[in-house]
């Protein structure tokens, strides 16, 4: 990520807000890109990895959340059902939400894959297809 240059004093508040939002957006995009690269590196089979290899049942949970949740995500009850079918109780499912690159996140009353979770799932699906 490059250094963020100092902003010149803007001619009016409206332009200042636009400029600052732009800088903020650029920073967020950079963070997002870095997170995605990290997720891809950690998820790709055969590459050096800081994360432990994930079990088949762990990855199947991610696939099912992706499938059954569509874009909005699944509700808690559906997540519990998915978890149970793969041997995870509620406590076990909690592990999917912890850590900097947790694969699941809660948005209101829905649960969906994080970018890291999607990268993990995509690598699994690609690997399964080979």
By CB under 8 A, how many residues form the interface with other proteins? Answer: 33
Nearest residue (CB) to other proteins, 51 versus 63? 63
> Should residue 86 be labelled a site residue for other proteins when binding is judged by CB under 8 A?
no
Rounded (10°) angle between helices 115-129 and 56-69 = 110
Give yes or no for residue 17 binding other proteins (CB under 8 A): yes
The radius of gyration computed from the CA coordinates of the chain, to the nearest angstrom, equals 19
* Cβ 107 vs Cβ 73: under 8 Å: yes
Residues 71 and 107 sit within 8 Å (Cβ to Cβ)? no
Residue 45 within binding range of other proteins, rule CB under 8 A: no
Q: Which residues bind other proteins (CB under 8 A)?
A: 17-18, 21-22, 24-26, 28-30, 32-33, 35-36, 63, 66-72, 75, 110, 114-115, 118, 121-122, 125-126, 128-129
């Amino acid at each position: 990520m490059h250094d963020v240059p100092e902003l010149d004093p803007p001619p009016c508040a409206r332009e200042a807000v636009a400029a600052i939002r732009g800088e903020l957006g650029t920073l967020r995009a950079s963070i997002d890109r870095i997170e995605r690269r990290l997720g891809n590196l950690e998820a790709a089979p055969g590459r050096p990895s800081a994360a432990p290899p994930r079990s088949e049942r762990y990855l199947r949970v991610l696939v099912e959340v992706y499938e059954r949740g569509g874009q909005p995500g699944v509700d808690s009850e559906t997540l519990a059902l998915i978890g149970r079918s793969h041997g995870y109780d509620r406590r076990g499912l909690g592990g999917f939400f912890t850590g900097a690159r947790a694969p699941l996140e809660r948005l209101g009353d829905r649960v969906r894959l994080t970018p890291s979770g999607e990268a993990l799932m995509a690598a699994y699906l690609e690997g399964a297809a080979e």
